[in-house]
Amino acid sequence: MRRAVLLLAAVAVICSACTSKSASTQVPLPAGPGLSELIGKAHLDPCPVTAPQPAAGKSLPDLTLPCLGKGPAVHLDGLRGRPTVLNIWGSWCGPCQTETRYLAQVYDEMKRSVLFLGVDTEDDPKSALDFAPHVTPPMRYPQVEDESKKLLIALNLPSAVPTTVFVAGSGRIVKISPGPYRSAAALRADIKRYLGVAA
C-alpha cells in the first residue's frame, strides 16, 4: 500500500509540468475562424512598445518575438522600466491552462504597476487565441509567439512549461520559477518577494 502511495506521488510530481507538446493533451485547433477574427475575440491587451538595449547583468536575451494579438513585436531585452512577470506557456499544456486563471486574476489587479507578458511556446497561434477568452477571468494580458522555443533555449531552461520569469525594472532577471502556480495568492506573494510590488 505504501509503495502504491509513493508511486502516485512520484507520478503527480512528474505530471505537474508539461515537457513537450507531444507529452500533453493537445487542445483541438478551432475550426472556421481566421486569425484576425480570433485576435478580435481574444481581446488581448496590446503588446508593449520596446527597443533593443545592451544587456546589463543577467537580463532577458536579445530576442524579438511577434505579438500574438495587437501591437508591435516585442524585443525581450528591451523590457525595462517596469517590473515584469513573463509567463512561458502553451495552450496544449494542461497545467498551463489551469494556472492561467490565476495569472489573469492577478494581472487585472496589478496591471498598472507590473507588466505581464505571456510567451506562447511551441503552439499554434489560433489555438492560443481561441483559449484566451474562455478562461475565467479571461486572459487579457499581452502575448507573444515563440513557436520554436527560442526563449527557453536562450535561458538554458528545461523544455518544461509553464515557467514564470520575474524581471526587475532594470531588466535584470531576479527569479525563474518552473512549474505552475496553484493559486492567485502564491503568485501575488512571489511578485511581492521578487519584484517588491504588492497588490
Q: Which domains does the chain have, with CATH numbers?
A: 33-195 (3.40.30.10)
Q: Tell me what percent of the residues of the chain surpass a pLDDT of 70.
A: 82
Mean pLDDT of 189-195: 98
In the predicted structure, residue 31 carries a pLDDT above the cut 50: no
- Hey, what's the cell of 198? 504588492
In the predicted structure, residue 17 carries a pLDDT above the cut 90: no
Residue 25 half-sphere exposure, CB side, CA atoms within 13 Å? 6
- pLDDT at position 167, please? 97
User: The pTM is what?
Assistant: 0.85
Confidence of residue 160 (pLDDT cuts 50, 70, 90): confident
Burial of 176 from C-beta contacts in 10 A (0-12 / 13-18 / 19+): middle
Mean pLDDT of 126-153: 95
Confidence of residue 7 (pLDDT cuts 50, 70, 90): very low
In the predicted structure, residue 40 carries a pLDDT above the cut 50: yes
Mean predicted lDDT score pLDDT of the chain: 86
Mean pLDDT of 106-125: 97
Nearby residues of 154 by Cβ (< 8 Å), 6 or more positions away: 61, 63
CA 105 – CA 90 distance, rounded (Å): 18
- pLDDT at position 21, please? 66
- pLDDT at position 157, please? 87
- pLDDT at position 143, please? 97
